[in-house]
Amino acid sequence: MKGERETTVEGQVLLGGDLEIRPARLVLRGGRIVSVEDLSLAPDLWILPALFNAHTHLGDTVAMDIPVEGSLEEVVTPPHGLKHRILEGTPRDRLVAGMRASLETMERGGTGGCMDFREGGPDGVAALRTAAEGLSLRPVILGREGGEHAGDGIGISSARDVADLERQVAETRRAGKLVAFHAGERDPDDVDAALSFQPDLLVHCTHATRSQIRSIADSAIPVAVCPRANWRLGVARDPDHPPLSRMAASGCTLFLGTDNVMVTQPDLWREMEFTATVYGLPPRQVLAAAIAGAGFSGGNPFIAPDGPARLVVVDPGRSGLTFSRDPVATLVKRVSAGDIRETFLFSP
């Protein structure tokens, strides 16, 4: 979408990285926010930045809610885990249709981008590109087994799973692409190795130790946490895993992801509600974690003059939410995809 025609949108706008709420009018033109004008009165519509799902595996949509038993290793670890056997046995058109269905659902729910760990080498990356054709939601695709060259970078399942890691990471870096690792999902033992590569993103850190959290914060490496998937896959059973409060207090940058579509719906509204309820983080911090990963797609993830016009307009009247005394808390704890009145998802 180019969006050459000028459009205005008025409401209670969550502005900047602080998500400070103010009555305002946004003027959109050429896919950008050309001005932010303060108003004394504005309609009771809540205007927030588009969400960004910082960790998905869209390919396993085709294994949705398959009865799962066994350890993390038996279920999702390559190359012989259940999901990898299912992916290998799935015809390409069904795989593409599954990913397309999840992408469309995310887009309708106000998610403007995601970062996907794509299995299946270069063909796997190509299949996700096909699935995303014509959508406004453009996934950032991290491949493996050669898929890193076709995609936007490499998504490593664990530093302990991959032989030849140094070469793969060095080649990816030379190509100017992203490096991300799953780390600390079932124990802390693969976190230090991942950290030694100074990746662009760590995923999970469910069992990161205090000193690892310190190093992550000091290196300013963002962490994509996926609390619901951790609980479903049996690697978290309490509010200290992942250690969100400690990570937040240490100054880590947190992003929210929903992980395997096989076990969790790629719905950041649900992820935010669960995270706020179980981990007790302040709603503003939870909401920021569901937005800020959009920096990986380029441009300012937040609403600001001259930023990309990537917005979600929520109508609180649809679910009796106009009584809210704190729209940010209500967005995190009560809003769902059905409350969205309109989205603007221009390219960054």
Cβ-based nearer residue to Zn ion, 259 or 271: 259
User: Beta strand pairing status for 178-183 and 201-204?
Assistant: parallel
**Which residue's CB is nearer to Zn ion, number 81 or number 348?**
81
* Beta carbon of residue 160, minimum distance to Zn ion (angstroms, whole number): 15
Of 119 and 259, nearer to Zn ion (C-beta) is 259
- H-helix segments, the chain: 72-76, 82-88, 92-108, 121-131, 147-150, 165-174, 191-195, 210-218, 227-232, 244-250, 268-279, 283-289, 327-333
Rounded Cα distance between 321 and 325, Å, is 9
Nearer to Zn ion, 260 or 300 (CB): 260
Residue count of the chain: 348
Nearer to Zn ion, 200 or 259 (CB): 259
- CB of 330 vs Zn ion, minimal distance in Å: 30
- CB-nearer residue toward Zn ion: 259 or 315: 259
Start-to-end CA span in the chain (Å): 11
Residue nearest to Zn ion (CB): 259
**Quick check: 78 and 88 in contact, CB under 8 A?**
no
C-beta closer to Zn ion: residue 52 or 344: 52
The smaller minimum CB distance to Zn ion, of residues 259 and 339, is found at: 259
Q: Provide, rounded to whole angstroms, the least separation between the CB of residue 182 and Zn ion.
A: 5
| Chain positions contacting Zn ion, by CB under 5 A | 259
By DSSP bridging, strand 140-143 and strand 178-183 are: unpaired
The structure tokens 């025609």 sit at: 5
For the bound state, the minimum distance from the C-beta of residue 164 to Zn ion, rounded and expressed in Å, comes to: 21
Distance CA 294, CA 310 (A): 10
Q: What are phi and psi of 47, to 5 degrees?
A: -110, 115
- Can you spell out the DSSP letters for 132-196? TTT-S---EEEE-TTHHHHSSEEEES-TTT-TTHHHHHHHHHHTT-EEEEEESSSSGGGHHHHHT
CB of 55 to Zn ion, least distance (A): 6
- Is 114 strand, coil or helix? strand
Cβ neighbours, 10 Å, residue 298: 13
Buried b (16+ CB within 10 A) or exposed e, 33-61: beebeeeeebeebbbbbbbbbbbbbbbbb
User: Shortest distance, CB of residue 139 to Zn ion, whole angstroms?
Assistant: 14
* Rounded least distance, CB 226 to Zn ion, Å: 7
